[in-house]
Structure 1
Amino acid sequence: MSQPQSLDAYIDGLPKAELHLHIEGSLEPELMFELARRNGVSIPFDSVEAVRAAYDFSNLQDFLDIYYAGANVLLTRRDFEDLAFAYFQRAAADNVRHAEIFFDPQTHTDRGVAMETVIEGLWDGMTRAENELGVTSKLILCFLRHLDEAAAFATLEAATPFLDRIVGVGLDSSEVGHPPSKFARVFARAAELGLKRVAHAGEEGPPAYVHEALDLLHIDRMDHGNRSMEDEGLIRRLAGERMTLTVCPLSNLKLCVVKDLKDHPVPEMLRRGLHVTLNSDDPAYFGGYVNANYKQLAAAVGLTREQVTQIARNSFEGSFLSESEKARHLAKIDAYAA
């Protein structure tokens, strides 16, 4: 008689989408060194091991400091293609069938890299992933919230020739002290351009930021949202509106948003009817791609096979795919689960 399949093995084969992935945060130390050599860029580390040792953060800002330093090696269209395709290879190995990836153009344009170089390079990697790996993807332009509104407007303007390549806009970087309201007018302009809207809120920032993202940015999807659990009315609202939350367990642990994965709010989110997904955020820095997030969280909080399957279903339902594309993926999950 065959042994029942382990939950880890079940997760390995489960089709899923990833909705919260910063492509610059998938820059593994090996590729960082390769691109530094290729482009003649000096980096403040003498070995891959030294880079990995530096990936020990106590908060979001510690992480961002090294994140921006690493991004300095990305200069050419080929660099951005290599970065994207390296991520998609890891995603495909985790049975991610669709990914909606963030990129931070200001991190690059402020260094003199053209918007076109960034977008066309990422698009090359995305096209290659679909052709060679069967992984589809969409691109979301994020504004850096520690910069001002004028810089965000300038970035959106610079991106307008490439709107056929961009599905939406997002808001990332240092959350505390930079409320969503700071970017309400930019998001209104993005809506006029027909772009979807997402925003990081309620990771380190208070529940009030989640309210602002909903009421002032009119978001289609919520990135993180952990601290929504501190506001009973907000929990009911998010559940009632079927607002998708793109939760990132290993990121939360690494950045000390939770002290232990056993304390993670996902089980309570599910119990309260929230539309939760699991994602890797910045996997090169936070210790794991999508399947590691599923497996480590499942082990820590005791997720069931049914809950894991529901989370995977949520990932496609919360995506910006067409209804027919969603239905095709959901049918594959149902067939796999059966």
Structure 2
Amino acid sequence: MQNETGILGNMTMNRINNKVVVVQGLIGLLLCVNSLMIFTFIRQEVFRTDTRYILFAQMLFLDSTLMLMTDLAVLGAYFQYPLTSILCVILCVFMDGFTYGTPLTLVVMCLERYVAICLPLRHADISNPKTRLIGLLLVWLFSFIPSLTELFALLSVAPFSFWFSSAVCNFDVMNLSSWHSLLRTGISQLYFLVLSAITTFTYIKIVVAARLASAESKKSASKCLRTVILHAFQLVLCFIQFWCPFIESAVMKIDITLFVNVRYSNFVLFLILPRCLSSLIYGLRDAKFFLALKYNFFFGMNKNICPVLDQGTSNSNANTCT
């Protein structure tokens, strides 16, 4: 998060004005799209009882909250608005937790697709309300383990006066000692290796299932395979941001102007772009969700969509157009 919260801190008002406007426009657009998708999820009961849509809604919430909090930190750095260290640390802890939440949710979604394709007869038993709740709780638990670990490490060395001092909020506030940075790097790389291994496992299993499936099942497996590939790409983008501080540190020693441009690019490519893919993968590629999204976008005035939605959810007791 160093590249996110401090992205505009060292830039002058005139040089970054256009970049600030672009960032605000991108984040505003994504928040509007995500809000509409969350509303669509809440409105339709058929989505609220399906594990993959529940995970999708959680990822939308995590992405939206992270973008909003990060944007506030960016604006605070831009206008040089000071915060007390205790408030800044709390903000950083939550931003860090939400940062890990997205890749963890992505991996759980890959596992859900693996069960649906490779273990179809057990899918209903595995993907039940109880296991769904346990899975969601585990995602939140493992999302905040890194940030809480860093918080306890900070508590062990920070003097009492530190907590009531004021400064522009930046994630560097969490790194009072060099070993704090090493701890953060080690945790992020461990998460990356484990989550990448799980994603690769699901990819290989779905590839094998797709080759052995019948013609009808092969189409479904092929679609799931493309979804897993997109998830893997999104996962890589999410974790590249943890390498950005090292890249930026090396660039800063070469040229400060280049450093500013690299930091801005990292913010857009590795924070905003992965959150755009969330909307693409399920919001636009999923036919059923897209129909419901389209219905809500037109405020329910397009009544021709209702029969199509109801036909797609005929096995459910819910009327999707209500």
**What range is the shorter-chain TM-score in?**
under 0.3
The TM-score with structure 1 as length reference comes to 0.26
- The structure whose residues are more often strand, as a share, is 1
